[in-house]
Amino acid sequence: MGLGTALDTAISGLRGTQTGIGVVSQNVANVGTAGYVRRTVSNLDSSTGRTVGVNNPNVQRLLDRIVQHQLWQESSGAAYTATRAEAFAGLDRLYGAPGSATALDTMFSTFTNSLQALRNDPSSYTSRTAVLDAASQLASRLRSMSEGVQTLRNQAEAGIGNAVGRVNELLESLTKVNARIVNGEASSGTADLRDQRDRIVSELSQYVEIRTSEQPNGGISITAASGTQLFDGRPTVTFAFDQRSALGPAAQWNSDPAQRGVGTIVAKDISGNGFDAIANNTFRSGEIGALIELRDKTLVQAQAQLDEIAAQLASALSDREIAGTAATAGAATGFDVDLAGLKAGNTVTLDYKVTPGGQTQRYTFVRVDSAASLPLPASAEGDANNRVIGIDFSGGPASVAAQMQAAVGPGFTISNTGSVLRIVDDGAGGTRDVLGLTARPTQDLLSGGTAELPFFVDSGRANGAYTGSYEGGAQSVGFASRIVVNPNLATNPKALVLVSPSTPEGDTTRPQFLLDRLTSSQRSFTNATGFDGSRNTSSMTMASFVQRIVAGQGQASAAAQRLDEGQQVALASVQSRFLEDSQVNVDQEMSTLIELQSAYAANARVISTVKELLDVLLRL
């Protein structure tokens, strides 16, 4: 090897070690810096003619791509579970811990205890006042809880808007960084850009579950887990969210824009073509996915629970139950029932059995006063054993009977004489047995001659009695936000006892009736308002239902918290695996620095020796 060759080799070695020392210095300076990935230098041997050396030292980042992709997926899941857990914790605070002073079940018990005290002393003014106070506090609690649920929904709506805006910003930022990486060389500057790009992608993964792939030119491509491409050198879609303000119980998401009362996310591609990203299920996880689920499912269900409590509370005290009287028509048997007091939203139930050996089933007919209210909304549907059907009463008795007949089919014969409805089975056919026919009209007067009374009324409908009407929209939707104690009771507390003007003030009939309706009478509830999503009808007391809802909310909150804790553990585990390679270790860097210093000294010694030899040659 000639002196020139040795000199070139040593100089290239110095350049390589100089780059390596710079990288070590950068690693040490960024110990603990979030998103910084440890770098190393990859030296490529070069040979040009008779010159051998180090050429183009490449700065490489030390990380495991597979683990990094797992980390981004787990980050999306962690953002999803954390968002849900926070919302469920807020709901749990609204409902209160079972048995606590502010819990809904405690306030319900206070109300029933006051009714029990009134039953024991009906003539006591103090007892009557206590009943009205307890009822007012219970109604106020339902209203405040409903307001709290809608506040959480509005927060979710705003959160979706903020998150969508941030996603667009991240995709735009990614465009600039990605272009500089594609056009740059593998240097420390490019490694910084890759760190910056990874930080952007990491933040993006918290909003939407993503899949990434690196292209041969160093660029990156990103798709959502649903398959929608988000980025390919530039954003392939832009998201827009038409945020709504002041969401109420009736404001819900629908694929039909005319029926939608909340914002939706529209994705537009580079050609200007758009699609509904929520309907397309683009956001399956991440913060946005969680917020959409909370706004459109979890919190809607929570409102439905409160509305069911309010509706059942009002109906239990105001709805009469008129059992049908036995009727026959030849070989057919069944019942007659008078529908004279039935109001819009009130029901008539037909209980029957398919023979032989069939189980008891039910048809629930709901009165509506306009065909515009039909069909009933999906939320009114029963289960397979309790089919709920809307009947338009505006056409008169014959029309009512015809609609019911069309709904139940040929196994029954339905007729109407004036206000009296008759339903009988198929007689000799023997395929059906009619077991019962019951009308449930609402009592809208305080002194109507019956124990029922409109104790709780709808402040949103001129303090009218709650009947479950579907005219102008379902009365049940948002009823928890409008339930109040009948104002007429405040001015006439004697009505808590007096069924009629001739009723003795010490009569226990009405107080006992009200207490029984809330604590011992079985009522039909649908689990569509429960967390399991089942639509099977179950029977229980009003008191049991309230306790079940409060306890169920606490269990759901605990389950969401456990899920989040498990997800955070999984995220921490993947982060630990990722940091094993990518995190800077000062001891390791010092060891590398010593090696580089030795190499630098060796190359410097070669240069010094060559210089001495050249000096000798020049002196000859």
Average pLDDT over residues 405-416: 94
pLDDT at site 49: 45
Q: Among the listed ranges 17-26, 77-86, 418-427, 565-574, which one has the minimum average pLDDT value?
A: 17-26
Average pLDDT over residues 354-383: 89
Is pLDDT of 392 > 70? yes
**What confidence tier does 468 reach under pLDDT thresholds 50, 70, 90?**
very high
**What confidence tier does 50 reach under pLDDT thresholds 50, 70, 90?**
very low
Distance of CA 379 to the CA centre of its chain: 17
Which residue type occupies 99? G
pLDDT at site 57: 61
Q: Calculate the dihedral angle through the C-alpha atoms of 204, 208, 214, 219, rounding to the nearest 10 degrees.
A: -50
pLDDT at site 17: 72
Is pLDDT of 577 > 60? yes
Sign of the dihedral through C-alpha 473, 477, 481, 486? positive
**What confidence tier does 450 reach under pLDDT thresholds 50, 70, 90?**
very high
Is pLDDT of 368 > 90? yes
pLDDT at site 47: 45
Residues in the chain: 620
Is pLDDT of 54 > 50? no
Q: Among the listed ranges 124-138, 184-198, 593-607, which one has the minimum average pLDDT value?
A: 593-607
Listed in sequence order, the residues at least 6 apart from 76 whose beta carbon sits closer than 8 Å to its beta carbon are 205, 206, 208, 209, 210, 225, 285, 286
pLDDT at site 65: 83
Average pLDDT over residues 290-296: 96
pLDDT at site 496: 95
pLDDT at site 48: 47
Q: Where are the alpha helices (DSSP H) in 30-123?
A: 65-95, 104-120
What's the mean per-residue pLDDT of the chain?
88
Is pLDDT of 71 > 70? yes
Distance CA 373, CA 392 (A): 8
Average pLDDT over residues 94-107: 89
pLDDT at site 101: 86
Q: Which residues are 391's β-sheet partners?
A: 367
pLDDT at site 380: 79
**What confidence tier does 137 reach under pLDDT thresholds 50, 70, 90?**
very high
Segment 478-532, tens digit of pLDDT = 999 999 999 999 999 999 999 988 889 899 999 999 999 999 999 888 766 664 5
Segment 259-272, tens digit of pLDDT = 999 999 999 998 88
**What confidence tier does 436 reach under pLDDT thresholds 50, 70, 90?**
very high
pLDDT at site 206: 95
**What confidence tier does 51 reach under pLDDT thresholds 50, 70, 90?**
very low
pLDDT at site 357: 82
**What confidence tier does 61 reach under pLDDT thresholds 50, 70, 90?**
confident
Average pLDDT over residues 391-403: 95
Distance CA 514, CA 112 (A): 9
| C-beta of residue 519 within 8 angstroms of C-beta of residue 540 | no
Segment 299-354, tens digit of pLDDT = 999 999 999 999 999 999 999 999 999 999 999 999 999 999 999 999 999 999 99
φ, ψ for residue 120, nearest 5 deg: -70, -30
φ, ψ for residue 390, nearest 5 deg: -80, 135
Q: Return the closest-CA partner of residue 400 out of 322, 324, 339, 327.
A: 339
Secondary structure letter of residue 324 according to DSSP: P
Distance CA 443, CA 364 (A): 19
Query: Can you read off the two tokens belonging to residue 339?
Result: 């529908």
Average pLDDT over residues 592-620: 70
Distance CA 522, CA 501 (A): 30
Please tell me the pTM assigned to this model. Answer: 0.86
Distance of CA 351 to the CA centre of its chain: 36
**What share of the chain in percent tops pLDDT 90?**
63
| C-beta of residue 184 within 8 angstroms of C-beta of residue 190 | yes
Q: Where are the alpha helices (DSSP H) in 184-228?
A: 188-207
